[in-house]
Structure 1
């Protein structure tokens, strides 16, 4: 199922849940009824269950065949290293090779048309649910440099695969929080919640733990293993 269709379905279900939680039995309300506007929120800590990690390696020499042979050797060394770390061969995915012609730089620091060699680059990517193991490999893989491989490890990306299901639950909790806030406000002023006027789902903030970052467009952090998800619902209730 396409991501867009999944998200549309999630939003539709979430709005239905919010309405069920917030609404009271149908009544006819006058347009001049008093109303109270509140914002409900729900927070939950989550731990990523999927990691995507990538590393890059390259070779450079005057002749293209020689450069390719060196890169091929490095490819085998990288693969052998990862296999020894306990990574299944099916989970090791190499990209296509990128070829970059290298031109001489003249005395003025300007690139000339004289070809002096080639640089070949390739990347390796691993997607795994074994988050701890791949995190450790991302830190230690530069050991390949000791074997003569020019290797660069990229920061891992962390994801939570049950996010869509969790969003529905979180919106329900945020809606409950909104109603409790509205009931307390109405009680403090001697009133009583009489019915739902409107509701609006806010954006989700998925941030590293203890982060204070907020965005009007929402945040989906992929840099942290441990995260916090915040759901927000804005609601108006009629008050009598």
Structure 2
């Protein structure tokens, strides 16, 4: 009889202990899930301080020697033109010369090839200007048709715009986004009559740069606009706080 009573007491104690441990674990589990998740935004407008503009020019001639001579002449004219516009020599870079052999194909009345004859060489070279004098190079790019009027077969590309202090700007925006998220979390906690606890987790969103007042779409992997001189940068920061 005594042995049975002892077994009953042990079983009862085990049941009470198990119930306590389960209850305590359940409470802690609920406590850990009492969090607030907020997203803050950092946004700023800025003006590009670096411009990259490029163009290409080409010459075609029956012989390689004549083509090179014509291309050399065009290159010197372009150098002189850019220098006259106030572009510094160290801002001008000419690429290596590319050349292609050209062929002319004639066809029979039924559409089959009659013959393919060598017609000469086409040589092409590009020039790139990189400068911090954004407005000046912009004007040069708009006036580049003057090169065509001088007899040069010149093709101008659209300028590209960059910002040399992007790393500093990004740090400033992260701080702004973090502050914005923290303010939102405090406001939510106060309105819910709760106390904001420790920061549990933080995640940074993608960095986006688009043209100001543009209809560009934000990209999942981040946008990086180079077509607009005036840009808008945004970044998001997600914070998760414990709520007491």
- Structure 1 segments unaligned to the other structure (5+ residues): 1-28
* From 219, 233, 240, the counterpart of 1:215: 219
Sort the Cα spacing of 1:191 and 1:151 in 2 relative to 1 into closer, same or farther, 3 A: same
Instruction: Report the 3-state secondary structure (helix = DSSP H, G, I; strand = E; otherwise coil) of the residue aligned with 1:132.
Output: helix
> What is aligned with 1:157?
160
Aligned residue in 1 for 2:238:
234
Name the counterpart of 1:21.
none
Distance 1:98 1:111, change over 3 A: farther
Q: CA RMSD in A?
A: 1.9
Check the 8 A contact 2:32/2:242 in 1, yes or no: no
CA contact (8 A) 1:103 1:112 kept: no
Equivalent residue, structure 2, for 1:103 = 103
Residue segments in structure 2 that go unaligned for 5+ positions in a row: 1-28
| Alignment of 1:55 onto 2:59 | no
Hey, what's the Cα distance between the residues in 2 that align with 1:120 and 1:217?
39
Counterpart for residue 15 of structure 1: none
What is the rounded CA distance, in whole Å, between the counterparts of 1:65 and 1:166 in structure 2?
A: 51
1:106-125 equivalences under 5 Å are: 106-107=106-107, 108=111, 113-125=116-128
**How many residues were matched structurally?**
213
Structure 1 pair 190–31 and aligned structure 2 pair: CA distance change class (3 A): closer
Give a deviation string over 1:50-102, Cα, whole Å, max 9, x none: 11110110011211111111111111111110010011112111111000110
CA distance in 2, matches of 1:239, 1:106: 81
2:169 paired residue number = 166
**Structure exhibiting the larger radius of gyration computed from Cα positions:** 2
